């Protein structure tokens, strides 16, 4: 399951994606409309900005807005950022690889082989879906 933080990130991105122009939206507006706790949302938006998906402006007239195009923002990237690896086991993770303590040899580990397959199939799904798909699905 995705953490609330991850879900909140998607809600925030979706809200910003629905804005016609790319002009700053206040954290408090996003918080009210998406019902994400404001202080919690701050940290999320900051992370999204650091990842290059959003831009921010401080001071009056400031706020957050999309920096990337919706079709560039992949579900997989957002999930990795807030939820961690897509893979089900560290030993088959592309971005967070770690060997298993108990495993003598990955080559002959049946679980490893199957989890590799699962990872590849899962990536096909979440790496090809983007914020644009969420926006299109929205009423």
Partner DNA sequence: TATTTATTCTACCGATTTAGTAGATTATTG
Partner DNA sequence: CAATAATCTACTAAATCGGTAGAATAAATA
Residues that bind a copy of itself (CB under 8 A): 1-2, 7, 10-11, 14, 34-36, 75, 79, 84-85, 87-90, 100-102, 108-111, 113-114, 117-118, 121-122, 125-126, 129, 133-139
Identify which of residues 31 and 130 has a Cβ nearer to DNA in the complex: 31
Q: Round to whole Å and give the CA distance between 114 and 108.
A: 11
Which stretch, 39-47, 104-112, 116-124, 127-135, contacts DNA (CB under 7 A)? 39-47
> Which residue among 14, 19, 34, 46 contacts DNA (CB under 7 A)?
46
- What mask of x and - would describe binding to DNA in positions 80 to 119, judged by CB under 7 A? ---xx-----------------------------------
CB 130, min distance to a copy of itself, A = 9
For the record, the structure tokens of 75 come out as 């579900």
For the record, the structure tokens of 123 come out as 């990536």
Identify which of residues 4 and 124 has a Cβ nearer to DNA in the complex: 4
Please state, in angstroms and as integers, the Cα–Cα distance from residue 20 to each residue in 13, 17, 23, 103, following that order: 13, 8, 9, 52
* Residue 35 interacts with DNA (CB under 7 A): yes or no: no
Please state, in angstroms and as integers, the Cα–Cα distance from residue 80 to each residue in 19, 58, 60, following that order: 25, 27, 33
The residues, ordered by sequence, that sit 6+ positions from 126 with a Cβ below 8 Å of its Cβ are 74, 75, 76, 79, 86
């Amino acid at each position: 399951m995705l953490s609330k933080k991850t879900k909140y990130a998607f809600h925030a991105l979706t809200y910003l994606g629905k804005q016609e122009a790319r002009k700053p939206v206040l954290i408090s507006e996003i918080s009210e409309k998406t019902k994400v706790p404001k202080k919690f949302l701050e940290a999320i938006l900051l992370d999204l900005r650091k990842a290059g998906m959003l831009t921010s402006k401080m001071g009056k007239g400031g706020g957050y807005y999309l920096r990337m195009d919706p079709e560039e923002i992949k579900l997989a990237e957002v999930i990795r950022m807030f939820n961690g690896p897509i893979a089900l086991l560290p030993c088959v993770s592309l971005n967070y690889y770690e060997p298993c303590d108990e495993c003598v040899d990955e080559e002959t580990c049946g679980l490893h082989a199957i989890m590799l397959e699962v990872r590849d199939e899962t990536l096909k799904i979440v790496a090809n879906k983007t914020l644009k798909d969420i926006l299109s699905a929205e009423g």
